[in-house]
Chains A and B, each alone.
Chain A
Amino acid sequence: MISSTDNGADSAAQAVIVLFASISDSMSDIGKILSSKPAIAKVMPGFDVSRFPGGEWAMPDCFSFEAYVEAETTTGDVFWWSFDLSLQSEKWTLSRDIDRQGKYGQESISDFDSMTYESFSALRDGYAPLMSEFVRSAESFTFPS
Chain B
Amino acid sequence: MAGRNSWTFPGSGILGGVALGSGIPRPDDPNAEYETLWAQSLREAIEKRPGGDTDRLAALAEQVRGGAIHTGPVDPIANSIWQGIEYLRKPAPPQMPQERTIGPGPYMAPLPRESGGPRIAKAIIDHYADYFDPWAKDELGRHVVETPAFTTPNAAGKTPLAEKPWWWPIVGGIDIGSNFAGPGAGVKAATVGGRAAFAASKAAAAEAVPTGKLLNAIREGQLAKLAGEGTTSGGAPSSAASAMGEYHVLGGADGSIFRNGGQNPSNLIARPKDNGVLSFRDSLSNPYPLPPGQRPVLIPGEKYREFDSSKLPPGSVIRDNNPPGHVGVRGVSLEDLINAITGKGTFPR
Chain A interface (Cβ within 8 Å of chain B)? 44, 46, 48, 50, 52-53, 55-57, 62, 64, 66, 68, 70, 72, 76, 78, 80, 82, 84, 86, 95, 97, 99, 101-108, 114
B203, B298, B344: the one within 8 Å of A104 (CB): B298
Chain B interface (Cβ within 8 Å of chain A)? 199, 202-203, 206, 234, 259-267, 271-272, 274, 279-281, 295, 297-299, 302-305, 338, 341-344, 346
A48, A64, A80, A103: the one within 8 Å of B274 (CB): A103
Contacts of B272 in A (CB 8 A): 76
The chain B residue with its CB closest to the CB of A54 is: B343
Residues A57 and B206 in contact, CB atoms below 8 Å apart: yes
B274, B299, B342: the one within 8 Å of A55 (CB): B342
A57, A70, A84: the one within 8 Å of B303 (CB): A84
The chain B residue with its CB closest to the CB of A82 is: B262
* Top 10 A-B residue pairs of the complex, sorted by shortest distance between their CB atoms: A105-B260, A106-B261, A105-B259, A105-B261, A68-B264, A78-B266, A70-B266, A52-B343, A104-B279, A106-B267
Main secondary structure of the interface of A (DSSP, over half): strand
- Shortest CB–CB separation between residue A67 and chain B, in angstroms? 9
A106, B234: Cα distance in complex, Å: 16
Residues B264 and A70 in contact, CB atoms below 8 Å apart: yes
The chain A residue with its CB closest to the CB of B296 is: A104
The chain B residue with its CB closest to the CB of A57 is: B206
Contacts of A103 in B (CB 8 A): 234, 271, 274, 279
A52, B307: Cα distance in complex, Å: 11
Q: Known contacts A101-B271, A103-B271, A107-B299; is A80 also within 8 Å of B264 by CB?
A: yes
Contacts of B234 in A (CB 8 A): 103
A53, B343: Cα distance in complex, Å: 7
A119, B341: Cα distance in complex, Å: 27
New A-B pairs, 17, CB < 8 Å, besides A102-B260, A106-B261, A114-B346: A50-B263, A52-B341, A52-B343, A55-B342, A56-B202, A57-B206, A62-B344, A68-B262, A70-B265, A78-B266, A82-B264, A101-B271, A104-B281, A104-B297, A104-B298, A105-B305, A107-B299
A107, B271: Cα distance in complex, Å: 13
Contacts of A68 in B (CB 8 A): 262, 264
Residues B203 and A105 in contact, CB atoms below 8 Å apart: no
Q: Can you give 27 A-B contacts (C-beta < 8 A)?
A: A44-B265, A48-B262, A48-B263, A52-B341, A52-B344, A55-B343, A62-B344, A64-B344, A66-B263, A70-B265, A70-B266, A82-B264, A84-B262, A99-B267, A101-B271, A102-B260, A103-B234, A103-B274, A104-B259, A104-B260, A104-B280, A104-B297, A104-B298, A105-B259, A105-B260, A106-B262, A106-B267
Contacts of A57 in B (CB 8 A): 206
- Shortest CB–CB separation between residue B343 and chain A, in angstroms? 5
A106, B279: Cα distance in complex, Å: 11
Residues B266 and A80 in contact, CB atoms below 8 Å apart: yes
